[in-house]
A and B are shown apart, each in its own frame.
Chain A
């Protein structure tokens, strides 16, 4: 059973950089799956942030592309998210998720979510 676990600082200062890591267990990150980040501001809907393949290929939501970077560390079965120049609007629960092999935009496994607050 694949499990995903987000970790990182829960508090980031405005204009700073948000950094999160997703650890994959119960399976390898080096499969035919793509791996995504999705966020959810408190009381609001979901927003896809971007995705990465274990060979390093990545795609980002156009609305966040200028501030986002997603990287993979195959040796640790982890992938990470960096979001720069954050504001209060970036306060959200951040989820990592696995895209299905048949279609990478169907997320069959999710992390439990990690709340990041942007505040001074």
Chain B
């Protein structure tokens, strides 16, 4: 199974909103409601920011939200802040005890 497809880059100005897509197949993203999103700053470990599509762990700002349509999941970041500049990775359960990650999207705050 191939990695999930994400755009390599995205950008927005402070205060704006940006959306990052994550495209899989009917065997992973489209099959289960088990999509999660991670934020990774350079040199740091990934941090879980969304799970089950649109649930946020404690401490994650409400500016982060998620959705899914068919085989594509999306992460939306509203009210962009400088600290949001990082790489973002989606992941999805692919059945048979297997997990896929996306290739990552580097979000630049202009």
Chain A residues with a Cβ under 8 A of chain B: 36, 38, 44-48, 51, 59, 61-63, 95, 100, 103, 105-108, 110-113
Q: Could you list 10 examples of A-B contacts with CB < 8 Å? A: A38-B46, A46-B38, A46-B101, A48-B91, A59-B98, A105-B91, A106-B48, A107-B46, A108-B48, A113-B45
User: Which residues from chain B contact A51 at a C-beta distance below 8 Å?
Assistant: 97
Other than the given A46-B101, A106-B51, A111-B45, 9 more pairs (CB < 8 A) read A44-B103, A44-B104, A45-B104, A46-B89, A48-B99, A62-B96, A62-B98, A95-B45, A106-B48
Whole-angstrom distance between the Cβ of B54 and the nearest chain A Cβ: 13
Interface hub of B48, B93, B96 (most chain A Cβ within 10 A): B48
Q: Is the CB of A59 within 8 A of B97?
A: yes
Residue B84 is within 8 A (CB to CB) of chain A in the complex:
no
DSSP majority for the A interface? loop
- CB of B101 within 8 A of CB of A110, answer no
Contact of B89 among A36, A45, A103 (CB under 8 A): A45
Complex Cα distance, B97 from A46, in Å, reads 17
Query: Closest residue to A57 on the B side, CB-wise?
Result: B97
Q: What 9 A-B pairs have minimum CB-CB distances, sorted nearest first? A: A59-B97, A110-B45, A46-B101, A48-B99, A45-B103, A106-B51, A45-B104, A105-B99, A106-B36
